[in-house]
Amino acid sequence: MNFDFSEEQVMLRDSVARFIKEDYAFETRCSAVASQEGMSRETWQTFADLGWLSVPFAEEHGGFGGGAVDTMLVMEEFGKGLLAEPYLATVLLFGGLIQKGGSQAQREAHIPKIIDGSRLGAFAYLERQSRFEMADVMTSAVKEGDHYRLNGEKVVVFNGGNADYLVVSARTSGEQSDTQGVSLFLVPADIAGVSLLSYSMMDGQQVANLTFEDVQVPAADLVGNLGEASALIESVVMEANLGLAAEAVGIMGELNAKTLEYTKTREQFGVAIGSFQALQHRMVETFMAYEQTKSLLYRAVCALSNGDEDAAPVIHALKVMIDRAGKLVFGEAIQMHGGMGLTDDLDIGHYAKRLMMINTTFGNGDYHLGKFNALRYARTD
């Protein structure tokens, strides 16, 4: 199997890496996270100018026409730089749902604006009782003439406070946890009846809780088929999980590199601590965990790109690996850096917090292990 990247993919990866090295220092990231929006609009416009916001979109809408490999390359570099901007929320989730499930009019109205940086979006799917099950939906949408009346609450909406438009999941039929009966609606963030509470997560990213009270949504703003959104959501979230996994791999690589460098300069008993055999063994373990995770990421990307039937279980396995390997890597990095590894002044702790949040997004390791086993046993029956 050929694992070489194309010339265009190498250029894409190198452009992101160069930007992070030259223009996105750790202090720049901290400044963006500390701002009211939790991001830099100027940096986001730079993403647009460099073409990164166009990567997963079709060429007919001005996109790059990239696939899972291209997204992986971008997100891995984003992980190395610990970027705070809402690429996952706007491009992979909001944009992914519009591209895969939206009407031609919806795609023409929103995708070009995502690409040029003028439109931010969010996917409102999580509810207080739903945990990791995205089909557990109590938010309701009732048909009234040519409109739907939307009522309910969504929590931990990535980029919810900055979004211009939302894609909201709501139940149009069935019981609370039924897979069938979930629909998606395209909702302007400033429409009457929508209220929000913005707050920061432990990794600095901005999220929001959104409340919908008798929000009137035109029937034309339905995304995908009525009551059949679960399959669309699963498809988009599967690709988003690959993006998150690539970001995690980038973070683990940086933590290993920074920790290795630190062990070469930090002295104890008159010698560098990297000369101690016990610490060398631990660094080898974290390096192996990183390499194994990266290998599984490549396997998952290939499976999804080729349409393999085992793509879903491989991605579940990848999420389990990210959970376990991530905890090992950031735990050792913090311990080897000592007490200062936990301080906000050092980037090690920030990388660790971001890994923790990635591990709980769309399900933690235990959740995905259960999903993996369910698929495995279903095949053997």
CATH architecture of 122-227: Beta Barrel (2.40)
Element (H, E) at 157: strand 147-158
The CATH 2.40.110.10 domain(s) of the chain lie at 122-227
In this prediction, residue 377 carries a pLDDT of 79
What confidence category does residue 276 fall into, taking pLDDT thresholds of 50, 70 and 90?
Answer: confident
In this prediction, residue 371 carries a pLDDT of 94
Specify the amino acid at residue 129: Q
Instruction: Using a pLDDT cut of 90, give the percent of the chain over it.
Output: 88
In this prediction, residue 272 carries a pLDDT of 82
Q: Measured between alpha carbons, how far is residue 372 from residues 227, 248, 297 in Å?
A: 26, 20, 16
- How does pLDDT run across 227-259, given as a tens digit for each residue? 999 999 999 999 999 999 999 999 999 999 999
The CATH 1.10.540.10 domain(s) of the chain lie at 7-119
**Residue pair 95/121 in contact by the 8 Å Cβ criterion:** yes
**Residue pair 100/236 in contact by the 8 Å Cβ criterion:** yes
In this prediction, residue 271 carries a pLDDT of 86
The CATH 1.20.140.10 domain(s) of the chain lie at 230-380
* Residue 341, pLDDT above cutoff 80: no
Looking at domain 230-380, which of 1.20.140.10, 3.40.50.11540, 3.20.20.60, 2.60.40.2580 is its CATH number? 1.20.140.10
In order, the DSSP letters of 216-231 are EEEGGGEESSTTBHHH
Tell me the average pLDDT across 133-151. 96
Return all residues near 127 (Cβ < 8 A) that are at least 6 apart. Answer: 136, 137, 138, 139, 152, 153, 154, 155
In this prediction, residue 3 carries a pLDDT of 67
Assign domain 7-119 to a CATH class: mainly alpha
What confidence category does residue 93 fall into, taking pLDDT thresholds of 50, 70 and 90?
Answer: very high
Q: pTM for the whole thing? A: 0.95
**Residue pair 44/51 in contact by the 8 Å Cβ criterion:** no
Length of the chain: 381
In this prediction, residue 338 carries a pLDDT of 85
